[in-house]
Structure 1
């Protein structure tokens, strides 16, 4: 957002809530503060108060649509809002999403106002016992998520694969287009990885599910060793459940070790009733690495071309994790040997 819009944000929020909560009086806004998280889109926490009753929390969050790395074709704020709304009153805990606003006269761009749930995201520094308890609860939620009737929930707009083989093909083609659009210079590892992905598309998918895309620590809020909110759904998709499981695996294995992760995978299989397909998980481990680097390269493009001059964009663009690049290169080399 523009600096003058940020400066006026308390007044914008006061006017917006006053208009959208017609049964209350004397709306006031306090403690507007930018969230330290949310690298892809800017977020501000704030507190609201008013006289009267309204079915809205007073601890709130404002999230702007302007993205440092994603285009709406891949991950729009409106898509995320619609998924959040569909997940209300399901076993997947999510913050209440109250409004999605398209009118640019308010803040110059689309935005969402949602509930701010009390909780922590700092998983890495927890005691092993707490990490284990949180992950066990998360796996219960993930298994329930993968058993949701996404068609009945109205989520077919995400793009439903017609069969198992199309699950991987759809996401690979989408992100190949995005990467080609954003690249400023040749990226040999990315090119070789895309060729590997196309050669190794999984064909056996036991259930087509609602996936989150990025799951587990970093994407959840927890309190008292329980998950209280699933936060990030801008990469939500309909497809192979092994994609989510692979992302969870490579994010938490370095933190909690092989024994814990293997126990979580087995528990997921028991709760979900979905067979664990290791080849599919290996494929999605490579794909998720490709996706992460692609997002960082997109941020570099936006900064280098002058589309966005925010330091936030440059920081994200320079953050392409070497571990992702090394993982892709290792697997591609192993299969070529």
Structure 2
């Protein structure tokens, strides 16, 4: 804990919250929005704010995160209790929100995960899929999120949106990334019934308790209403590329016992009842989206707007995601 963490003005934050002196520390692991543990010596919270430096429009909306946490708290999908949203950037230099501190482990290390043993790893992976099924089974209208997105034309808009995000972050040539975008746009599948989509669903974006049950799903910055298979495609992509992340993005799927992509897809299909025959397109789209996200992070790193370790290696990952997307589309 420190009195002067990067990205936080603790004196102004203390005055705003009406607490005693504050201390905070950056929680490592995030590559986009910044997350801090915060305490006044008695109470403990988590604070989320946008990244420093170059910020893409609509990509770091604290209000959306806070709203989805508020809607899901108390539902079958475990989330931290949201406490306070401050949209005035004058307090710490950017909008932010507070949520409760939930105990649990974010598994970011395949070796540490492997220490649980294959049976526990498999059970945890199954619970990860089952929690995704539970998320996609929630009726958005019942939790007050009927207007949280526009499901009609979702995939077409998503490809267009991430193309614009790519253009906003271009600082170099990335071979194949435009071809991947064009091929995705030309082969849009028919979407199933819309659902609440997390947008970055993977093991290290959940907290796990000592009983290997998920205690909280985190990092809702990309959540919306749309095609639920985009979440599945992302989970599959992370599994298939687990050995290529070079320590930048966790390759937890390397732990013995973690199921392969076909098993993940099969369990999701059985639990949700959805047709998953077009999953290769969704894997390719996930690869494109992550390539764009990482290119934006690489852009911020070059501008000195990132906080934490590992950002110097992010740029080298982008071509790997692009090629994986192109290879996935060859299966169609």
TM-score (norm 1): 0.81
Instruction: State yes or no: 1:201 paired with 2:198.
Output: no
Post-superposition shift, 1:101? 0.7
Secondary structure at the aligned position of 2:45 is classed as strand
Match of 2:35 among 43, 59, 64: 43
Report the equivalent of 2:277: 278
Report the equivalent of 1:301: 299
Instruction: State yes or no: 1:92 paired with 2:90.
Output: no
Secondary structure at the aligned position of 2:237 is classed as helix
Q: Which of the two has greater strand per residue? A: 1
Report the equivalent of 1:12: 12
What is the distance in 2 between the residues matched to 1:8 and 1:209?
35
Query: Quick check: 1:64–1:109 contact (8 Å CA) kept in 2?
Result: yes
Q: Note the aligned Cα RMSD (angstroms).
A: 2.9
Report the equivalent of 2:96: 111
Instruction: State yes or no: 1:141 paired with 2:128.
Output: no
Report the equivalent of 1:287: 285
What is the distance in 2 between the residues matched to 1:101 and 1:331?
42
Spell out the pairing of 1:234-249 with structure 2 (5 A cutoff).
234-249=221-236
Q: Which runs of 5+ in 2 are unaligned?
A: 243-252
Report the equivalent of 1:328: 325
User: Residues 294 and 68 (structure 1 numbering): CA distance in 2 closer, same or farther, change over 3 Å?
Assistant: farther
Post-superposition shift, 1:140? 2.1
What is the distance in 2 between the residues matched to 1:287 and 1:8?
35
Post-superposition Cα deviations, 1:173-218, rounded to whole Å, max 9, x if no partner, equal 1111111222134433111101110111012x33211111111211
Show structure 1 runs of 4+ deviating over 6 A: none
Post-superposition Cα deviations, 1:115-151, rounded to whole Å, max 9, x if no partner, equal 1111111252322222212122222221111111113
- When the two structures are aligned, how many residues end up with a matched partner? 311
Post-superposition Cα deviations, 1:303-330, rounded to whole Å, max 9, x if no partner, equal 54x4837676953752535531331243
Secondary structure at the aligned position of 2:317 is classed as coil
Higher relative contact order (CA 8 A, sep 6+): 2
TM-score (norm 2): 0.82
What is the distance in 1 between the residues matched to 2:261 and 2:290?
22
User: Residues 5 and 45 (structure 1 numbering): CA distance in 2 closer, same or farther, change over 3 Å?
Assistant: closer
Query: Quick check: 2:130–2:268 contact (8 Å CA) kept in 1?
Result: yes
Post-superposition Cα deviations, 1:45-77, rounded to whole Å, max 9, x if no partner, equal 122356xxxxxxx32112222356752323422
User: Residues 245 and 145 (structure 1 numbering): CA distance in 2 closer, same or farther, change over 3 Å?
Assistant: same
Post-superposition shift, 1:94? 0.6
Query: Quick check: 2:5–2:24 contact (8 Å CA) kept in 1?
Result: no
Query: Quick check: 1:299–1:316 contact (8 Å CA) kept in 2?
Result: no
What is the distance in 2 between the residues matched to 1:7 and 1:201?
40
Match of 2:56 among 71, 76, 89: 71
Report the equivalent of 1:32: 24
User: Residues 116 and 191 (structure 1 numbering): CA distance in 2 closer, same or farther, change over 3 Å?
Assistant: same
Report the equivalent of 2:206: 220
Secondary structure at the aligned position of 2:48 is classed as strand
Post-superposition shift, 1:264? 3.8
The 10-residue stretch of structure 1 (216-225 or 68-77) with the greater mean CA deviation from structure 2: 68-77
Post-superposition shift, 1:158? 3.4
What is the distance in 2 between the residues matched to 1:299 and 1:259?
30
Secondary structure at the aligned position of 1:104 is classed as coil
Instruction: State yes or no: 1:102 paired with 2:87.
Output: yes
Report the equivalent of 1:155: 145
What is the distance in 2 between the residues matched to 1:238 and 1:215?
14
